[in-house]
Amino acid sequence: MKTLVVYKSKSGASMYYAEEIARALGGESRHYRSIPREGGYDLVIYAAGVNGGKVDSLAAMKKALAPLGKRFLTAASCLREPTGEYRREVAKKSGLREEELVLMRGRMNMARLGIWDRLLLRMVRAKIDRKAEREKTQEDREIYNALSFPTSFTDVKYILPLVKKARAMEEESEAK
Ligand SMILES: Cc1cc2nc3c(=O)[nH]c(=O)nc-3n(C[C@H](O)[C@H](O)[C@H](O)COP(=O)(O)O)c2cc1C
């Protein structure tokens, strides 16, 4: 199956996942500023971070990428735990069907971000800080730490649901 994975990445998580996904599916991975002009892909995957509850730059990237392939999927990395419930929330906010989105736990390096992103994330960190100690969840503590020191939760295991999805699509099209 001819597969293209395009990434946009602020802290490197989506770049890492794009490369792992491309390797697993035998496809190619490209930065979003060097998208191939020619289409003809069976599957195009957009990999980017979750920003403010939705996939970064999804509308514009989907418009540019969907015409290049028969199918389009989104692989988004986030700091929150990638639970089914959070996936539903992000899909809804991003205007995607749930089955079009795979969530993977990402990484954070505040020093790599622009000033506005840093300001916004400092507000997120301050909000966690204001919570009473007993009200803080494990996830709150992990996010607080990631917003204080460079942290990575990336793990190749998170690409498995997407790899399975892509293989199922391949079998489906071979059966036709
Ligand atoms: C401006 C901004 C907003 C973010 N909002 C969220 C969020 O709502 N939920 C979440 O889980 N992570 C959020 N994050 C964290 C990123 O999703 C996480 O760091 C991800 O791994 C980034 O992927 P990238 O390194 O490929 O850009 C945000 C990061 C930034 C910079």
| Contact 114 CB / ligand 1 (< 6 Å) | no
Per the listing, tokens 């995607």 go with 96
Q: What is the DSSP string of the chain?
A: --EEEEEE-SSSHHHHHHHHHHHHHT-EEEETTS--S---EEEEEEEEEEETTEETTHHHHHHHHGGGEEEEEEEEEESS---HHHHHHHHHHHT--GGGEEEEE-EE-GGGS-HHHHHHHHHHHHHHHHS-GGG--HHHHHHHHHTTS-EE---GGGGHHHHHHHHHHHHHHHH-
| Contact 57 CB / ligand 1 (< 6 Å) | no
pLDDT band at 84 (very low <50, low <70, confident <90, very high): very high
Q: Which domains does the chain have, with CATH numbers?
A: 3-109+152-175 (3.40.50.360), 111-149 (no CATH)
Q: In this predicted model, what pLDDT tens digit does every residue of 56-74 receive, in sequence order?
A: 999 999 999 999 999 999 9
| Contact 53 CB / ligand 1 (< 6 Å) | yes
Asked whether residue 173 carries a pLDDT value surpassing 90, the answer given is: no
Q: What's the CA-to-centroid distance between 176 and ligand 1, angstroms?
A: 39
| Contact 108 CB / ligand 1 (< 6 Å) | yes
pTM (global) more than 0.85: yes
Q: In this predicted model, what pLDDT tens digit does every residue of 134-148 receive, in sequence order?
A: 999 999 999 999 999
| Contact 10 CB / ligand 1 (< 6 Å) | yes
C-alpha torsion sign, points 133, 136, 138, 144: negative
Is 5:27 a contact under the CB 8 Å cutoff? yes
What does the pLDDT average to over 151-163? 97
What does the pLDDT average to over 113-130? 97
Q: What's the CA-to-centroid distance between 14 and ligand 1, angstroms?
A: 10
Is 11:108 a contact under the CB 8 Å cutoff? yes
